[in-house]
Structure 1
Amino acid sequence: MKNEKINILGIVSILIPTIVSILILNFLLGIVPIEKIEGLPLVMPMFLCPIGAIIGLIAYRYRKDRLSLIGIIFNIILFLFPIAYNIFVTLIFGV
C-alpha cells in the first residue's frame, strides 16, 4: 500500500510539468488557439512546478526510484523556463 502511494506521487510529479509543457508548447506554436488564457501558460510553472518538485521529493524520500528523480529534475527545469524565456525575449526584442 505504501509503495503504491509513493509510485502515484512519482507519477503526479511527472504529470504536472508534462501538462504545463503541453500548454506552453501550445502557447508558443499556436496549435490550438486559446485566447482566454493568453499568457497563463508562461506563469503557471512558477506556481505549479514547486508543488510538483515537493511531491517528487516526498516520493523520492520514501522510495528512491528513477521516476521521482525525473519528476524533480523536470519540475526544476520547467520552473526556470519562464525566467529564461523572459530574459531572452527582452534581450532579443528589447521590450
Structure 2
Amino acid sequence: FSAWCGLVPKQHSSGGKSCLKGITKNGNKQLRTLILHGARAVVRYADKRQDKMGMWLRELIARRGKVKAVVALANKLCRIGWHLLSSGEQFNVNKAFA
C-alpha cells in the first residue's frame, strides 16, 4: 500500500549496488498529500507524546531531521493501516512502534 501511494524511495540499482533516492511520487497524488499532511500534524506534537510513537519520532527526528521523519511516519502509518484493514486487528500503539 505504501508503494502504491508513492511513499517509498526510488531505487536505482545496477551491478549489485543499491542507490535509494527520494519518494517515487507514483500512485494517487491526493491520497499521498493527505497522508503526508496527517503525518506532519503528528510530528508537530511529537515532543508532547510520552508513548512509544513519541519516543520513536523524537529519535528519528534527531537522526534524520523533520522532513524525512514526516515521510517515514507517513510510510509507517500506511503500512499499519493496511495491516489493520487486512487482518481486522485493533490498533495498539505499543505493538505498532515496538
* TM-score of the superposed pair, with normalisation by structure 2: 0.31
Q: State which structure, 1 or 2, has the greater radius of gyration over its C-alpha atoms.
A: 1
Higher relative contact order (CA 8 A, sep 6+): 1
* TM-score of the superposed pair, with normalisation by structure 1: 0.31
